[in-house]
């Protein structure tokens, strides 16, 4: 972004002395402002100072209040928070186990094993290529923050040097050819490397793949370690009906197909007679208020547990459809104020990394009982996404004190304030993304 000439402001130091700090301020004006935390309004302005939003309001008022600031106008556009893709596996960006089955769908566990084998054969160059192309696709579609799960050795400098705001979740998923303890230690080693980078935009989380891929003991230790480090936890939970069967009866596809294929041995855990959510609560794992990817098969008692533990859910509607996984009970989750974010998950290379495509899919394919309005869907793609990544104090809405992460989106000619959110979801593609700003800097598209 071309910076304004700047102005000087005296600030106090810890020793009672004054020093001069040069600040850069800009007024971004547009036909509409969509703050997310409050209703949209016409002829508005977002005021940014260096990396932060310092004010939001009507154009006339903001121009009078900040006469020294440079102005950039987006006359036929809306300014809104950058989108938050709460769950991806960017290292699987070019992975497509069976293109011929795009229309009919894939078997989930065959897909899971294929993806695991694909990762084992990847080189560092392959993973870097996935990361760089993924970031390019994300920014072009108006996403400014991503929560990515994968392997990040050798990748941290590339992430730090990219414009994207990222929460990197080293993922723990290994077959019998690798010690689970080794994989566990490797993941936390990556966490330490990410934290040591001391980036303002890149932070660390941790992602055990699913409750059935780690022992009860390791899950308990992991949740305690994550809590001690104050990092977010992400885990796939209740994605498939087979997972419900496994935790209740210790039988079904996971026991009969996945365990032998992954080389996890012949000894199965006991029948817990619990749902996956109830199992995780029983071992104290939900005390970290984790983000659950999936949540497609939740009983009413599960929903009460998620609300009580302040857990979050990530919904990837196109992935769920492609793999025939089902869908979470969106209306019930919203009624209990459980945040539901949006993600593209791991088969995005078959479609796109655009959350606009996910939003359209929800809008067009939800059954009548689960129908959400456009306002709720945009909330999922912004502020609820920030909540899923524990970043709601920094991003997800346009309000003073938050990071200057925002996008300008070109609007159709017939847009009105009443139909703003509806038209955004219906018509936005990367072509309509005029400008992307992350931490106060314009990103080249």
What value does the mean pLDDT of the chain take? Answer: 90
Where is average pLDDT lowest: 9-13, 115-119, 240-244, 376-380? 9-13
Q: What are the distances in angstroms from CA 15 to CA 19, 143, 190?
A: 11, 42, 38
Q: Looking at per-residue confidence, does 84 or 445 come out higher?
A: 84
Superfamily of domain 83-388: Metal-dependent hydrolases (3.20.20.140)
Domain 7-82+397-442 -> CATH class: mainly beta
Model confidence at 136, pLDDT cuts 50, 70, 90, reads: very high
Least confident of 255-259, 346-350, 432-436: 346-350
Q: Confidence band (pLDDT; 50, 70, 90) for 116?
A: confident
* DSSP line for 265-331: -SPPPP---S-HHHHHHHTTGGGG-PEEEE--S--HHHHHHHHHHT-EEEE-HHHHHHTT-----HH
Percentage of the chain exceeding pLDDT 70? 91
- pLDDT band for 178, please (50, 70, 90 cuts): confident
Please give the Cα distance from 84 to 408 (Å, whole number).
Answer: 15
DSSP-based three-state secondary structure for 438: strand
pLDDT at 18: 43
Q: Is 253 helix (H, G, I), strand (E, B) or coil?
A: helix
Q: Check whether 311 has a pLDDT greater than 50.
A: yes
**Greater model confidence, 160 or 367:** 160
pLDDT at 19: 41
Kindly report the pTM of this predicted structure.
0.92
Report domain extents, the chain.
7-82+397-442, 83-388
Q: What is the pLDDT of residue 6?
A: 55
Residue 313: band (very low, low, confident or very high) from pLDDT cuts 50, 70, 90: very high
């Amino acid at each position: 972004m071309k910076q304004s000439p700047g102005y000087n402001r005296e600030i106090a130091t810890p020793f009672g002395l004054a020093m001069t700090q040069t600040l850069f301020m800009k007024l971004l004006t547009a036909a509409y402002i969509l703050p997310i935390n409050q209703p949209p309004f016409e002829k508005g302005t977002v005021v940014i100072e260096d990396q932060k939003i310092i004010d939001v309001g009507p154009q006339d008022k903001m121009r009078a209040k900040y006469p020294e600031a440079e102005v950039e106008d987006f006359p036929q556009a809306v300014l809104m928070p950058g989108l938050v893709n709460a769950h991806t596996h960017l290292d699987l960006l070019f992975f497509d186990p069976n293109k011929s089955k795009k229309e009919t769908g894939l078997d989930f566990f065959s897909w899971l094993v294929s993806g695991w084998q694909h990762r084992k054969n990847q080189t560092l160059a392959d993973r870097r290529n996935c990361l760089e192309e993924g970031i390019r696709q994300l920014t072009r579609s108006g996403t400014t923050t991503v929560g990515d799960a994968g392997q990040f050795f050798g990748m941290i400098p590339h992430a730090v040097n990219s414009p994207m705001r990222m929460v990197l979740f080293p993922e723990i998923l290994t077959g019998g050819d690798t010690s689970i303890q080794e994989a566990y230690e490797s993941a936390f080693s990556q966490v330490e490397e990410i934290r040591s980078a001391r980036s303002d935009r890149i932070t660390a989380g941790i992602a055990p793949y699913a409750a059935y891929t780690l022992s009860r003991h390791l899950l308990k230790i992991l949740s305690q370690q994550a809590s001690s480090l104050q990092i977010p936890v992400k885990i796939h939970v209740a994605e498939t009906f087979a997972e419900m069967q496994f935790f209740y009866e210790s039988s079904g596809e996971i026991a009969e197909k996945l365990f032998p294929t992954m080389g996890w041995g012949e000894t199965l855990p006991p029948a817990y007679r619990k749902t996956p959510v109830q199992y995780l609560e029983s071992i104290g794992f939900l005390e970290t208020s984790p983000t659950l990817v999936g949540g497609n098969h939740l009983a009413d008692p599960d929903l009460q547990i998620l609300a009580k533990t302040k857990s979050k859910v990530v919904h990837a509607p196109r992935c769920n459809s492609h793999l025939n996984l089902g869908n979470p009970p969106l209306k019930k989750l919203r009624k209990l104020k459980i945040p539901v974010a949006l993600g593209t998950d791991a088969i995005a290379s078959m479609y796109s990394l655009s959350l606009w495509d996910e939003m359209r899919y929800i809008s067009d394919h939800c059954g009548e009982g689960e129908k959400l309005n456009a306002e709720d869907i945009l909330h999922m793609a912004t502020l609820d996404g920030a909540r899923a990544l524990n970043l709601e104090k920094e991003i997800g809405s346009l309000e003073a004190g938050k990071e200057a992460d925002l996008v300008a989106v070109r609007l159709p000619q017939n847009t009105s304030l009443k139909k703003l959110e509806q038209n955004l979801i219906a018509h936005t593609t990367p072509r309509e993304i005029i400008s992307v700003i992350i931490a106060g800097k314009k990103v080249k598209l």
